[in-house]
Each structure stands twice: as C-alpha cells, then as structure tokens.
Amino acid sequence: MTALDPGVGTAAIEAPFTGQARQGPLTMAQANMLKRMRELREAADRYTMNLWLSVAVPGGTALDRVGAAVGALMVRHEVLRSRFVFADGQMWQRVLGSGTLAIGVHEAGAHMAATVEGLRGSLFDTHFDVTGELPLRAAVVTRDGAPARLLLALSHLACDQGSLEVLRRDLGTLLRTGAAPTTAHATRQPIDQAEHERTPAALARYEAALDFWRTTVTGSPQAMFAVPLAPPDGEPFAHARFSSPAVALAAAAVAARTRTSPVTALLAAIAALVGVRTGQDRCLIAAPTANRFLPELLDFLGPLAQDALLSVPLTDETFDDLVRRMRAASLTGYRHSQYDADELWPTLDAVGLSRGTKYARDTVVNNVSPPVSGALRPCTAEDLAGALRGSELFWIPAEDLPPARFVCFVHRMDGTAELSLWASTRHLPRPEIAAFLSGLERLLVAAALRTVPLAELSTVAGVSAPERDAGWVFTDLCWVRPSESRRVLAGLPSVRSAAVFASLPDSRLVGYVVPADPGAVDLVRLHGECVAALPGNESAMAPHWYVLCAEAPSDVDDEAAWRSVPVLAEGSGRPAPQVS
Amino acid sequence: MLSRAALRDRIAELVVAACDGEVDADQVLGAGSLVLIGVGSLASLRIIDAVETEFGMPLGIDDDPSFLDTVDGIADHLLGQGLQLESA
C-alpha cells in the first residue's frame, strides 16, 4: 500500500486548543515507555510502538466541527498537547497553553479502505519526534466531500490500549454533540500522576510491589514451557481463535458456586491445563493489566498498563479450590501491578543471579474482555449441551511475539466466550493448541455441573502431560536438562570445555568447567555470564555449584572422570550477600 | 470509634461507591454474596483500596479473600485485624 502524505490532502483544517500551560516530570510508565521505545528503535526501526484509532464521523458533521472536536480533545487531555523535553538532567513533559494541530483532509471517493490504509502508512508507521512534535497526528477522510472517518496516530508516550477506549468515547461524544462527555470522577493528568507517584504512600506501594515480584518469582518455575520440543515444521507460531457459548455459561456457573467471577474461573482453568501440559505443580502467569481500577485513573490518558503476576499452586484437591485460590492470586497480583519497571528488572535479575535462572515470562494471559453484566447463576446439563453446539475454532495469522511461548487473549466472556491462543508450535504444536482450547471448554463444562478433583484434570480435559526422558531433572521448581545447561556453559567465550551433572538427592546442578584462560579464574563472573546466556532456552539453568578444572577428562560425559581431574577452584559463583 | 452498625453502614457506603452506584446500600447490606449481586473484580479491588484507606490498615488478602463477599465478612475481618468498636 502506498503511504499518503497526511498533510497533503485535498484540503486542510486546524484543530485549535487553548488551556493551561504547565511542566512536570514524566510518570514512571512514561519514563519506562520512552526507554523501551528507544531500545526497540535501536533494535529495528520498523517498531514505532505507535497506536492507531479510526473513528466514524457521524453523517452531516461539518469539517470545522471535526477540527473543533480534536481541539477539545487536546484541551481535555493535557498529554495530547505536550512535548517531551530534556532539561536539568531529566525528561519533562511540557504542556502547551495554546496552539493548533494541522489535520489533512483526504477525499476517498470509492476507495475508502485503500485511502485509510494509505494514511495509516504515513501517520502510523513513522516515529514521533516527541521533543519537537505533539504526540498526536490526525487526518480526516471524506467521501464526496463529507467527513467520513477521523484517523488518529498516537505516540505510546501519550496513550495505551486503555486510553484508546477513553479517546474513542470522548471523540464519539464530541463529534455527535460538540461537547465532551461528563465523567463521574475527576481524572488525573499525567503530571498529576507523576506527582502522586512521588508521595510516600505511593512509593511504599511500589516498594511492596517489588517485594511481591521478588518473592513470587523466587518461589516459581523460571518458565512454564520447559518441555520437550516438537520438531520444527516451518511454522514457528500458530494462532487460534475460539468462540464458545458453553465456556461463558459454564464459567459463570462455576463463578456463582465459588463466589468468584467468570474470568477467574477461566484463568483457573488455563492455569490448571498449563500445569498439566507442562508437568508443573505451580503455574506462573503474566497478566497485562490496564491499572485503571481507581476512579481517578478510569479516564486517564497515558501509559498505565503493566504486567500483573499470578502464581498459583496446582496441588489443591478440587478445581473449585483452585478457582478460589486464583481469586486470591488475581487480587494480590493486580494490587501489585504498579511499579517502576526500571527497578523491577534489576530486582528480577538479582533473583535470577541468586537462583541461576531467568524469569521467562513465557505464559501470558491478556484479559481484554468487558465486565460480565447480569447475575451469575448455575446452569443445567441441557443448557450446556445446547451451548456446546455453538463452539467454533478457526485459525488466524500468527504474529511474532517472543519471548512468550503461550499467549491467551480473553476478548469476551459475556454470553459467548471469545478466546484466542497464540503459541510457539515447538512448545505447543497446532493440534495441541486446538486440544488445549477444547480442553478448557471440557473442564469448565464439567466443573459447571460437579466438583472436579484436580487429579482428574487430564482425563476430563483431554490434555496430556509431556513425556520427559531421563535427560530431564526437576530442581528448584524448574524442569531442566543438564545437557542444555552444559550447552550454554560450553558456549561461553571464557569456557574451553564444560559438563553439567545433576547431583542427588535434590538434582542440584554441578558444572565442571575448563576455563579458556586458567590464569583468569573468576567464579562470580563465570556464573554471571552463564545466567546472562540463559534467555531463549527455558530448559537450561546455571549450575548451583561450579568446579573449575585444569583439564577435561578423556570422557567428558563421565562425571566420575571429571571428579578425578585437578581442581583449580570451586564455588557457587553467587555474589556474597551484602551485609548492611 | 464506631458501633458495629455504623461500621457496617460505612462499609456498605464504600462498596456502593466502588460500584459507581450500580448497587444500593440496602442491597449491599442484605446480600448473602456481593459477587452474586454483581460486584465484580474491579470493584473488589476498589473496595480493598477504599477500606484500607478508610480504616488505615492492610486487609491481607493473600490467603483467602472470601471475606470480601459480604459486609459482615469485611467487618469481621477488620475486627480480627484489630479495629476497635465502641463499647456498648
């Protein structure tokens, strides 16, 4: 599709705005987003991270009114008329008091879709220069001279997915009535949020969130999908969409019995089956959350979304117990989903260095479903039998979403459940993706009618545990292959030869290493290099103990032979605990 | 300090506010289950926040948040956490 110049339309209009000028710091999420945007741009220029909104203009709306609506939007949301500047050693957001945004007008004639796509290319696929340009670009598409669509591209510094819904609502009302909608609660502007984030109460909350993440990641597997890999089949990812009235009906019935919610029942089912499929007795889920539950953030415009971490043991007696436990895990996880990511990742890296692991964030459940309306109630077998006839699964194009291995989107749970499951096909081949989704349905349908013992999960859902051979060991809550740990270790430039063995009784890993330079032996550095090389290989873990040897034995696969060679040094390689 | 009745009334007000008025205080006070009258997860998060702010103590939901399902459950939990009632 040829990109169109949004500023060279058949005409142009202006969106004037006038408001209060002010300057303040960035929010934590904006600062993190700015860093992420720069990192991604360095990795590949095509990743703009921009957001896109296309809004239908009501028939009969004059062009001037469209411009006025965009101007009013910029008055209402300070971030849309802000520039981001570096001064006095930090980034600031500078809200402009007045100005205009130029909006190109493009006649589509009979080619509406092509015109919109062309404009998307020019508005959306170009990086924002947020220091010199406003974080918003707009164009109007006309049909026979009448405004038909208003297109907006937004910098991720000014917007996230939750913000888009706010913008869609505000614009809809502005275009229809000329006035912005009234809201029940006062809304924070980003500068207000940044100031709030610096209050003692907020700082204490973020610190508690870091503690929660540290504790939870320490007590969980580094990855769920440390499983035997299926052979590559030329299709690295697959993405299925599943529509099921039965899942919605059954999840509501389970929720009514357990006093939870349909989404909680679904999350519990997902956790249970991920546990079965991966042979784990604890499930760790990253659940992106909008972080908009507080009234003052409902209509906030700016990035707020972050991961919540949901960790549940799968050792309860019944599925109902697991659903109740998932409610506790969800509430706790969502209450700890606001934090400074700049502090979170070093915190998790410290956990990884201590354990010799890497938090993989490989299992993601993104619930974007609107709240379920109406009362929760039980259902009958007849209700479910009828609903099951409406189930439908189809395949959609799979994007590239690593490092995740399993990403489930919950699009809708009201009336009909709409789910999609994206997975790495080496970790969950296409037939197993389909089996997983139908397994969720089978489990929830069974659980709607009776209390399902967790011991029956595999039978009820038709999802099987992985078949791991003797090359796998379970240590420190993680399934790993010592041979993969050896591959990681042997691949380090500072290592000439290596072998890793699991010791009894707890399968702790012992790494025997012949350094490339025997004169430069540093166990802490070696361990750090090993942990740094783990990402992308969830079946490897750094050894718990290193033995540096002067030479390799003739049979490098013989642990006894390694024990007989001269030792240069040995130790855990973990940094000594800091004493305050 | 509050009486038990006043504590229940105040909790009910916080629940109603957390639900943006979609339920009323009588419904909340009479409900055998807040979930079953439509108090969802987002509202539950708001209730936790509002109750903690109002009474100045953490609710401790990590193990079993089922107390959140009734006004009496929340009141009993607060009393268990050390909230004092006025003596009769």
Q: What is the CATH number of the domain that holds A547?
A: 3.30.300.30
Count of alpha carbons within 13 angstroms of residue A207, beta-carbon side: 7
Q: Are residues A182 and A88 in the same domain?
A: yes
The arithmetic mean of pLDDT across residues A291-320, rounded, is 92
Q: What is the pLDDT of residues A73-98, one digit of tens each?
A: 999 999 999 999 999 888 999 999 99
ipTM strictly over 0.85? yes
**A204 touching B, CB under 8 A?**
no
| Cα distance between residue B15 and residue A529, in whole Å | 52
| Cα distance between residue A580 and residue A576, in whole Å | 12
B38/A259 Cβ within 8 A: no
Give the model's confidence band at B73: pLDDT under 50 very low, under 70 low, under 90 confident, else very high.
Answer: very high
| Cα distance between residue A575 and residue A522, in whole Å | 11
Most confident of A368-382, A483-497, B49-63: A483-497
pLDDT score of A10: 60
Domain that holds residue B53: 4-80
Give the model's confidence band at A361: pLDDT under 50 very low, under 70 low, under 90 confident, else very high.
Answer: very high
| Cα distance between residue A308 and residue A74, in whole Å | 31
DSSP string over A402-443: TT-SEEEEEEE-SSSEEEEEEEETTTS-HHHHHHHHHHHHHH
The answer to the question of residue A195 being in a domain is: no
Q: Are residues A215 and A359 in the same domain?
A: yes
**A371 touching B, CB under 8 A?**
yes
Q: What is the pLDDT of residues A442-481, one digit of tens each?
A: 999 999 999 999 999 999 999 999 999 999 999 999 999 9
Closest C-alpha to A422, from A227, A282, A235: A235
Q: Are residues A282 and A173 in the same domain?
A: no
Give the single-character DSSP code of A519: T
Q: How far apart are the first and last CA of chain B?
A: 11
Mutation pick from A309, A324, A331 vs chain B, by most beta carbons of B within 10 Å, is A331
Which residues of B sit within 8 Å Cβ distance of A?
20, 33, 35-38, 40-42, 44-46, 48-49, 61-66, 69
Minimum mean pLDDT range among A296-305, A500-509, B59-68? B59-68
Instruction: Give the rounded percent of residues in chain B with a pLDDT score beyond 90.
Output: 56
The answer to the question of residue A138 being in a domain is: yes
Non-local (6+) Cβ contacts of A536 within 8 A are: A403
Q: Are residues A87 and A232 in the same domain?
A: no
Give the model's confidence band at A404: pLDDT under 50 very low, under 70 low, under 90 confident, else very high.
Answer: confident
Q: Are residues A30 and A92 in the same domain?
A: yes
- The domain tally of chain B equals 1
Instruction: Give the count of beta carbons closer than 10 Å to the beta carbon of residue B16.
Output: 20
Domain that holds residue A322: 200-461
Single pTM value for the model: 0.90
Q: What is the CATH number of the domain that holds B66?
A: 1.10.1200
Q: Are A416 and A386 in contact (CB under 8 A)?
A: no
Is the pLDDT at A101 greater than 70, yes or no?
yes
Q: Are residues A372 and A507 in the same domain?
A: no
| Cα distance between residue B80 and residue B47, in whole Å | 18
Q: Are residues A352 and A387 in the same domain?
A: yes
Q: Are A145 and A153 in contact (CB under 8 A)?
A: no
Q: Give me the residue label for tokens 């205009």.
A: A100
The answer to the question of residue B18 being in a domain is: yes
In the structure encoding, which two tokens stand for residue A255, read together? 């929720």
Q: Give the residue on B whose Cα is nearest the Cα of A208.
A: B58
- The domain tally of chain A equals 3
Non-local (6+) Cβ contacts of A130 within 8 A are: A34, A83, A84, A155, A157
What is the Cα gyration radius of chain A?
A: 27
The answer to the question of residue B44 being in a domain is: yes
Element (H, E) at A212: helix A200-218
Q: What is the pLDDT of residues A17-64, one digit of tens each?
A: 999 999 999 999 898 888 888 877 776 666 778 899 999 999 999 999
Q: What is the pLDDT of residues A139-159, one digit of tens each?
A: 999 999 999 999 999 999 999
